[in-house]
Amino acid sequence: DVIHEMYVPRMERVDVNYILTHTRGFTASHKQFSVVCNPSPLPILLLDQGLFKCIHGNAIRNALKYGEKGGPIRTEATYYFETGWLEMKVINLPGPGHAQLIAMGPRASELVFSHGTRLHKDSHSNQRSHSAGDGAWIMHKCATILGGSVQITFEEDHTEFVFRAPCKVYDAPLREADHFHLPSGVWGIAIDDSKIQRKLLRRFFVHAGIQEHHQIILGQNNEEISSFVEFVVDFIKRHPDNLFLVIVDENLELGDGISNHETISGSECIQRIRVTLDSENEKKMLALVRSANDSPQDLAIYTSRAHGYMPKVPLQGMSVREMVAPLWAERFPLVKRGSNNEPEEPDPDDRVTSIESLRDLTLISPAELKSLLKQVDAIAVRNADNNLADRWPVLWEKLHQLKGDLKTVNVDDKFTRAINEIESMRGGTAPADFMSKWLVIRTDVVFDS
């Protein structure tokens, strides 16, 4: 849809500051990257997060691949309040073949964003090639959908990529979110195979306004995962007078070993639930996918199957309400939000009396992170002489789970390097330097947690 410019942008709250300083999948030294924002910090903007990440990620990737090896890469982002436009520049030092690009003049910039052309010499052949395959062409498509533009200039001492697009400041919804709570009587149903995530989801529901006696958190064993669809369908049918917020992790693991392992897609579970329920019951549910993967392709899949998507990020009261408020308002525009109406009184033994007491119950301990680390370590190191390819599917699922847990507790960026190392290994086969990457991840988690 993006390529054919049929994609309809999903405008949502986006913290550009966070995206620019958390570049996914790159393992270069932090000293290689610098970010300058004007104003600093940038305001929270209304953007399509997937399109913006695609543009920024490809710009950084091109600078790494075709600029000076190990050279500094500088991102400059400016928001112009008077015009309502965002400008982002990615600047790198010249790499091989830069003189020839300068000699081409303005024609070089035009060809960079053309489909199927290459300007840089391929490192493994004598063919001339576009700097990122079709990456720059796709960047141009993304910018066009946003009503903006991209361009690149090759100067004597640097290369400068520029993205410009109109976007609004996300301010009015923030004021709404400050007082937002879900209506009384809403049930929160969630599933995740990570113990850490299940504890965080309990806190999430409380911040959204769902008390513990209306929470159901599943995923601690194979039975809860395999029967989740049937459980949700039956539960909604048995509660005809309630509304439901359903949050499902995208990657749910079944089995307990390399030979007995299966991954269930959470978004497919939601799709099955929606298809199984009749239209009246389906209308009572807001079903969201929660995942650590947020590429444009991933987001397109999630939104085609579910009602929306939630990233795995550190949870705070306001950020929870900012995520839920617009999704709830879009799904249930005629339902009055939570106010002074008190929910039904729960049984005393089940009630959590305050957010503070719940926080005490759900603090994530270093031991819990290290427990998952040991699981990955056992698979990575065990039978190390055997072909890593045999272990890679289950190993990657464990790494993905670890990445999601690290992202939700990465408040001070202390796990950013480990997260990026895991993201750089995403794919169907294990990287050749897997063990060196794993040692970096293990060291960071052990010493920072």
- For residue range 230-281, what is the model confidence (pLDDT) as tens digits? 999 999 999 999 999 999 999 998 876 555 678 899 999 999 999 999 999 9
Task: Indicate the burial class of 11 (C-beta count within 10 angstroms; 0-12, 13-18, 19 or more).
Answer: middle
Structure token digits, residue 289: 């996918």
Q: Worst-scoring range by mean pLDDT, 119-123, 161-165, 183-187?
A: 119-123
Candidate from 177-181, 184-188, 270-274, 357-361 with smallest mean pLDDT: 357-361
Mean pLDDT over the full length of the chain: 79
| pTM as predicted | 0.60
Widest pairwise Cα distance in the chain: 77
Q: How far apart are CA 251 and CA 289, in angstroms?
A: 10
What is the Cα–Cα distance from 298 to 293, expressed in whole angstroms? 7
Specify the 3-state DSSP secondary structure of 313: coil
Tell me what the mean pLDDT of segment 406-429 comes to: 79
287 Cβ partners below 8 Å, 6+ apart? 246, 247, 248, 270, 273, 274, 306, 307
Q: Count Cβ atoms below 10 Å from residue 312 Cβ, excluding itself.
A: 24
Q: Binning pLDDT at 50, 70 and 90, where does residue 346 land?
A: very low
For residue 351, pLDDT beyond 60: no
* Cis peptide, bond prior to residue 366, ω within 30 of zero: no
Residue 358: predicted pLDDT: 37
Alpha-carbon distance 288 to 270, whole Å? 8
Cβ(48)–Cβ(146) under 8 Å? yes
Task: Give the pLDDT of residue 292.
Answer: 81
CA contacts within 13 A on the Cβ side of 268 = 7
Q: Which pLDDT value is given to residue 102? A: 86
Examine the pLDDT at 282 and tell me if it is beyond 60.
yes
Strand stretches in 28-174, DSSP E: 33-38, 45-47, 73-80, 85-92, 120-121, 128-129, 131-134, 149-154, 159-166, 168-169
When pLDDT is averaged across residues 37-50 and rounded to a whole number, the result is 90
The CA distance from 178 to 171, in Å, is: 11
Question: What's the average model confidence in pLDDT over 25-44?
Answer: 78
Q: Determine which of 60-64, 363-367, 405-409 has the lowest per-residue pLDDT on average.
A: 363-367
User: DSSP alpha helices (H): ranges in 258-385?
Assistant: 266-276, 279-282, 296-305, 317-331, 355-362, 366-381
pLDDT tens string 87-144: 999 999 998 888 888 888 777 777 777 765 555 554 333 444 334 446 788 888 889 8
Identity of the residue numbered 31: K
